[in-house]
Structure 1
């Protein structure tokens, strides 16, 4: 055992830790455990910061105690160096260095399936690979953060205490160096292959016509590796890496251009996968090149790489990380389509305000007719599946008719205007006041939403009432029977029925329909739908050249809206049947349909008090509020995340909104006669 002087400066809580570390290392003195990871697992468990947590000791002290022990007992440091060398020499490192934290070539959906299977049934440990050793040793979720927090000075002191990289190479050090070179070679080949993928060349044909930086990097890196001597970094003359670093910069620029171009030409999961994978390979090559320098930059790169690999191994079965890293480009593109559509739902002046009311009023009339058809379908007593199909077709056909007629349904606005609001947090003019502009936009959105809801509800009520009166006048009997009328009114009661919860479910459906619409718009651009339709011969022969061109242009800009409306119709129409089949209280309540049902129920009710009618009207208003709040909050959350916008970027908006609410409250419901002054 070491002398008592070596224990000076240790607190009472640190003495047991030192004794445990000392006992562990002394067990390595007689004979090295070879490829057995057990001692290393126990060593890392002792060094984790929480080993002394809650005992009045600094979180970094376990490592400091370990380093002091190695400095005081060189024989223990030598035993540890030999053990680590045996561990590293017996394992393959190339796969970890080249693949850890880098997307594979299998594709998004295959990787998703593999990760899901591995989460259910973890793969077996293979003692021949370093990646499996990392998974065994650094199994704690916070290990990556802990390793990243260790300073370069601590790493330097630890390596010097162990004797790593000093004197002759151990088998483990030689294996690390060979794996380092091989990993760079593998990564360069994979980057070159990714750079000439058809999906990539399609966006930048110049990559096929001129010298591709991806191919040039692979050739230059191979030449550099051939000229790199096999000796350790301290005893070799490193080749010039400047040209390789320039080509890496060119690859980064090419990937940035591809991402920007994808925003205008549409994005796909496959393209997002390739761009993300190529970017990760470029970053890994930079890190491996940094390690090649025989100076302090090498240690910084090695410590960063270790933390990165440990984090990558701990998250290699994470579904959230996979989805987030690949679909961010697609999510942004989808929300940008919604943002462009949302511009049409915002009334900035009185002319647009009145036009929005007329469009909402037209939709209200159509919805009133749809509500009557819904009641008729429900009264038929069809089997559940056929009832769901009939209701879905009723909703879907009605929503498509609303779109084809140029009308608007108010509850579809939030999914679009939320994306517009998120886009406003990225001002194009640095000299403008973002908070003031966003406050203006929110006011415009509020009054646009108000007039659209008013138009939908008012005309749905008037149309339903007119239809009920005409029917009663012509047939001398109410359109809705007393029992059905009572059922309609009971379904709208705000607290005696689950109407508000069902309205929230409808809000989720409205949000999903907005995503579907944006995704289909993106696909229409990505697959160049207009050009494909123009290549069809039978529409040209049937319609003529001019109509064929108009049809292609219309479908290019409206495919997303048409499919989104159909999807919304099927979601709303089948939700009740889905709940019945699953035994869950699932259903939907939509404010415009609820408005028509309110009037239809009142027209067929035998006797209704004014108080009961008022409570039911309150239920309709709360249904509308729930529809809007849920769809808007979900859409805004996705739009902000797709643009990587933090809530702090909207700082100051509340103050501007409060000022407008106090001084200009009518602007939230009615457009001003002239442009409002900005807050100074």
Structure 2
């Protein structure tokens, strides 16, 4: 008991009790005071939900004690005046101007061995204050509005009365301005800049000239506030033009495509422009500062310092727009798979019936190829070619394969929530209607595929038996075909999930290749190719270029899917692991082939019913996995957070209860009172 540990008193409360004041000259003491203040706000790891409550209690504490507010203001100014702010203002939260590969390498290197920090650097102090790796979580949870309230309470302001701070702000503004100008002259930007923004009106060049003039006014001549404010107003207008140009280039990527390099450059320009606007707000000789931007910078910097070496964060930020374009290409195609009227519904069934017919021949050829004596790899290769030709034939005949839809319709559904396309909040009722349309369209395509695949495949194997005098498969092989589709006597449902992933991946490949074709202007390069121009007639070359431009992505996706499905089982055999695929239409065809080989007189009909149920389960998992993955990518690439729409599931359930048949087939008539249903 004699050595009881003395309870540590928080430095903020200790200063309050003793009536002490923080000295602006004692930087270390001021830093300890800020560390102690943040410790008062910081919730425990298990109490992140109570972050807002704790913050509110701290604000009440500040309202009751003016001396604490004064000490905080002095402690913050002591750090700002005595620290190097340039790295904070020009680098924190901003990707350095280097390639995506080099940035990724740098983060990986610093993740293993963090770089040394200069104690005079303000970021070093920030890391001392927000030293826990998850501090950014509760800082973000508190929200921008409450941080604004705290900064208003502290009364922070910047003016010419703070020459040290002002000089660093101007230097930072110059650095960012030069970097924006440099990035603005990159080929990926200049080639896509319209005539109205070409030199001498290029906003990326003009802004650098205006920043130089502001520097001359503030630092060297120190002329009237009106002159600086007039320049700041002109610079604000030019920065707005820079944002317009960035958005213009992004908007054109829907038709022209984009690249990781262009995406990375636009991402960097936008980051730097946002920071320049904040610095201009400080440097415009006006003591007022936009606290909303300041609070946003504060939250961003804390997150960046906690996550500065996060590879996942970097990839998520820089590839979001590239993923967005891939999802957009898929979304445009996905709209054709969504039926609205009874006529479209029956057209979908008819289209799916043609697709099912093609799959019947694919399944027959696959089993014939299995009779060939060759090495496992070549078996997988010929299976892959067979599948690819079938999928390409379905694409060229504009027929439908049910499992190809989810990867595309998911992007179309996510587009309904896309805040980038409208300033208005999404209509959740219309989204529920869209989900019902996707559901019935998917059911229509499954029906169309299966009502053809089951009987026509059976007819084809009967014709084969009649023509050759022996069944395509018989005995144990026929039994094995049925067993492979059984829901619990095989791993068919697990393999169906593998197929769902491959369906999703082939959709990504299709979108990516189509994006590259558009961005690389492949059609124009083909028509202007020196050898092709001499060896082919101009009209034929133009047709080839147009075909590749319109169908190149689909061809790549179909061929990729064919090889994924064809090689999967062979890979499993080579490595001795349970790895294979199950595709609903191919499984349905194999069920018919197996049933004919076994013979109706030897079939247990309950067993056959279980096999058919397994085929339907395979189809459901094909759809569920493919749709879920594609929807996740489409939502993430658009920056949509599903938690922002907590009422959607309730609206969807209410719609399902009132119109359950809409999820199976379209209504023939709609009431005039019913809200307009749009996709």
TM superposition score normalised by structure 2: 0.82
1:208 to 194, 198, 201: 198
Contact 1:18 1:69 in 2 (8 A): no
Describe the superposition over 1:264-306 as per-residue Cα deviations: whole angstroms up to 9, x where unpaired. 3222222222222111111101111222344242777655533
Q: 1:645, 1:72 → 2: CA distance?
A: 40
Aligned equivalent of 1:506? 499
Aligned equivalent of 2:629? 634
| SS across alignment from 2:473 | coil
2:183 to 176, 191, 194: 194
Q: 1:94 to 1:459 in 2, by over 3 A?
A: same
Contact 1:102 1:280 in 2 (8 A): yes
1:254 aligns with 2:245: yes
| SS across alignment from 1:211 | coil
Aligned equivalent of 1:9? none
| SS across alignment from 1:480 | coil
1:114 aligns with 2:115: no
Contact 1:366 1:402 in 2 (8 A): yes
Aligned equivalent of 2:455? 462
Moved more, 456-465 or 625-634: 456-465
Moved more, 435-444 or 635-644: 435-444
- Aligned ranges 1:7-156 → 2 under 5 Å: 16-18=9-11, 21-22=14-15, 39=32, 43=36, 46-50=39-43, 58-59=54-55, 71=67, 84=79, 89=82, 92-127=84-119, 129-140=121-132, 141-143=134-136, 144-145=139-140, 151=147, 154-155=150-151
In the TM superposition, residue 565 of structure 1 has moved relative to its aligned partner by: 0.5
Aligned equivalent of 1:284? 275
Unaligned 5+ runs, structure 1: 1-12
Q: 1:340, 1:589 → 2: CA distance?
A: 28
In the TM superposition, residue 316 of structure 1 has moved relative to its aligned partner by: 1.8
Aligned equivalent of 1:7? none
The root-mean-square deviation of aligned C-alpha atoms, in Å, is: 4.4
Q: 1:277, 1:305 → 2: CA distance?
A: 16
1:371 to 344, 363, 373: 363
Contact 1:24 1:43 in 2 (8 A): no
In the TM superposition, residue 31 of structure 1 has moved relative to its aligned partner by: 14
Aligned equivalent of 1:3? none
Q: 1:43, 1:431 → 2: CA distance?
A: 43
1:416 aligns with 2:416: no
Contact 1:435 1:656 in 2 (8 A): no
Moved more, 42-51 or 283-292: 42-51
Aligned equivalent of 1:623? 618
Contact 1:41 1:137 in 2 (8 A): yes
In the TM superposition, residue 437 of structure 1 has moved relative to its aligned partner by: 4.8
Contact 1:228 1:239 in 2 (8 A): no
In the TM superposition, residue 505 of structure 1 has moved relative to its aligned partner by: 1.7
Q: 1:30, 1:439 → 2: CA distance?
A: 61
1:449 aligns with 2:445: no
Aligned equivalent of 1:5? none
Describe the superposition over 1:495-543 as per-residue Cα deviations: whole angstroms up to 9, x where unpaired. 2222112112211211121122122222222222221121135545555
Q: 1:239 to 1:404 in 2, by over 3 A?
A: closer
Q: 1:234, 1:66 → 2: CA distance?
A: 37
Q: 1:42, 1:22 → 2: CA distance?
A: 14
Moved more, 394-403 or 615-624: 394-403
Q: 2:539, 2:53 → 1: CA distance?
A: 80
2:391 to 399, 403, 411: 399
- Aligned ranges 1:209-608 → 2 under 5 Å: 209-229=199-219, 240=230, 241-292=232-283, 293-297=285-289, 302=294, 304-349=296-341, 352-378=344-370, 383-425=375-417, 434=427, 437-438=430-431, 440-579=433-572, 584-605=577-598, 607-608=602-603
Q: 1:30, 1:583 → 2: CA distance?
A: 72
Contact 2:43 2:51 in 1 (8 A): no
| SS across alignment from 2:171 | helix
Q: 1:466, 1:586 → 2: CA distance?
A: 31
Contact 1:472 1:479 in 2 (8 A): yes
Describe the superposition over 1:459-497 as per-residue Cα deviations: whole angstroms up to 9, x where unpaired. 222332123212322343321131211221111111222
Moved more, 647-656 or 105-114: 647-656
Describe the superposition over 1:111-139 as per-residue Cα deviations: whole angstroms up to 9, x where unpaired. 23333343344334444643344234322
Q: 1:73, 1:105 → 2: CA distance?
A: 39
Contact 1:229 1:237 in 2 (8 A): no
Describe the superposition over 1:351-378 as per-residue Cα deviations: whole angstroms up to 9, x where unpaired. 5444433432333233233223433455
1:612 to 599, 602, 607: 607
Describe the superposition over 1:250-272 as per-residue Cα deviations: whole angstroms up to 9, x where unpaired. 22222222222223322222222
Q: 1:643 to 1:33 in 2, by over 3 A?
A: closer
| SS across alignment from 1:228 | helix
| SS across alignment from 1:101 | coil
Q: 1:674 to 1:546 in 2, by over 3 A?
A: farther
Describe the superposition over 1:133-154 as per-residue Cα deviations: whole angstroms up to 9, x where unpaired. 4234322323543695765665
Q: 2:550, 2:383 → 1: CA distance?
A: 27
Q: 1:56, 1:679 → 2: CA distance?
A: 42
Contact 1:47 1:63 in 2 (8 A): no
Q: 2:446, 2:631 → 1: CA distance?
A: 20
Aligned equivalent of 2:3? none
Q: 2:474, 2:586 → 1: CA distance?
A: 18
Aligned equivalent of 1:177? 166
Moved more, 367-376 or 583-592: 367-376
Q: How many pairs does the alignment contain? A: 653
Moved more, 280-289 or 124-133: 124-133
| SS across alignment from 2:191 | helix
Moved more, 304-313 or 225-234: 225-234
Q: 1:555, 1:55 → 2: CA distance?
A: 55
